[in-house]
Amino acid sequence: SVSQFFHILGSVDQQRGCCEVADGKFEITIYTSCCNATKGIYYYTTYDNHQITAVDMRKENLDASQLIRYPIITTGEVRWQNK
């Protein structure tokens, strides 16, 4: 499953503070992604947003001459259960 994929890759994430590459600069895992080639869905998470975001590539005209791009969603959301 997609969720399982991200759990597995989470075991090798670079957390800020673990690997200093320069004075005050740290290596981090900026994003993690996978693609379901059968369904045409691209999934990703970012360092600051662990919620899985999906892009359905079949909803786009992939034969178009223009590049299709989406801003990366880096802000995490909290889902309230009692509000």
How confident is the model at residue 70, as a pLDDT? Answer: 92
Q: What is the pLDDT of residue 2?
A: 95
Q: Is 26 in contact with 20 (CB distance < 8 Å)? A: yes
Q: What is the pLDDT of residue 18?
A: 85
| Structural domain boundaries, residue 37 | 1-83
47 near 30, Cβ under 8 Å? yes
**Domain count across the chain:** 1
Cα angle, residue 40 at apex, residues 78 and 58 outer, rounded to 5° = 95
Those residues of the chain that have pLDDT short of 70 are none
Q: What is the pLDDT of residue 16?
A: 86
Q: Please state, in angstroms and as integers, the Cα–Cα distance from residue 24 to each residue in 12, 31, 48, 49, following that order.
A: 22, 21, 19, 22
